[in-house]
Every structure is written in C-alpha cells, then in structure tokens.
Amino acid sequence: MHYQAESYGNYYASTVRQSAAVDPLERVVRLASGSAVVIFSLSTCCMCHAVKRLFCGMGVNPTVYELDLVPRGKEIERALMRVLGGGSSVPVVFVGGKLVGAMDRVMASHINGTLVPLLKEAGALWL
C-alpha cells in the first residue's frame, strides 16, 4: 500500500511551493506546466499506480504529485474533481502542460496513437 518514492523517477512532493496562487486550479496549471509529464495522484490509489506504471513502461519519467502528501492537496483534489466532472479526482495526467485527462482518456489516446506524438513533442520521449 505504500509507494516507494524512488520508484517513480522525479518525486517533487516535498518541494511544492506554498507561496503565490491561492486558487487551486491555478496551482494545478502552474504545476502542470512545470514538467513535461505531470501526474496528480493519491498514494493509496491503485489506478494511479497503473497510470504511473504505464508511463514508466514507455520509458517516460513523470512528475508525480501525491495529493494526500502535498500541502493543501485536498483543495487540488476537489478542484480536479470539478474539472473532470466525475466521481474520482485522480489520476489526472498533463502532458506538455496540456490536460490529457483521467485514466480512460489516457488509455484511449495511447491506443489511438495520439499519446506518443504528444510525449515526443513535450520532450518526454526520445526515439
């Protein structure tokens, strides 16, 4: 049940800045544009584990924010839930600062071949 920090590449949970934007969505946007691939996750969520494994399996190094471990992560979680309009808030994936979506959208874009070009464009994948 505990995810080891070192197994997911970059793990900036502890370095999230507490200053500036109060609005959670603004925080999301700021964090999302900070790296090529950003995953908002919960350390206890198994589907989040699946999406992390997907990117690592492709050779991508995603930046993961565990919202239960990040300060004021609950706000972000609630904001994401509103954005997605669904029952669950995580996992949510951003590539190149742009929203890809929840697990179903991520998988759909991988199968229909749009995810890999997006990753290459964002500089997350080299081949």
The residue count for binding other proteins (CB under 8 A) is 20
Candidates 24-32, 44-52, 69-77, 78-86; binding stretch for other proteins (CB under 8 A): 44-52
Cβ neighbours, 10 Å, residue 114: 12
Counting contacts by CB under 8 A, is residue 1 touching other proteins?
Answer: yes
Counting contacts by CB under 8 A, is residue 51 touching other proteins?
Answer: yes
Counting contacts by CB under 8 A, is residue 107 touching other proteins?
Answer: yes
Structure tokens at 48: 């989040």
If you search the block for the tokens 């996750």, which residue do you land on? 41
Counting contacts by CB under 8 A, is residue 83 touching other proteins?
Answer: no
Q: How far apart are CA 31 and CA 17, in angstroms?
A: 10
Structure tokens at 91: 């996992």
Q: How far apart are CA 96 and CA 78, in angstroms?
A: 23
Binding site for other proteins (CB under 8 A): 1, 44, 46-47, 49-51, 53-54, 57-58, 88, 103-104, 107-108, 110-113
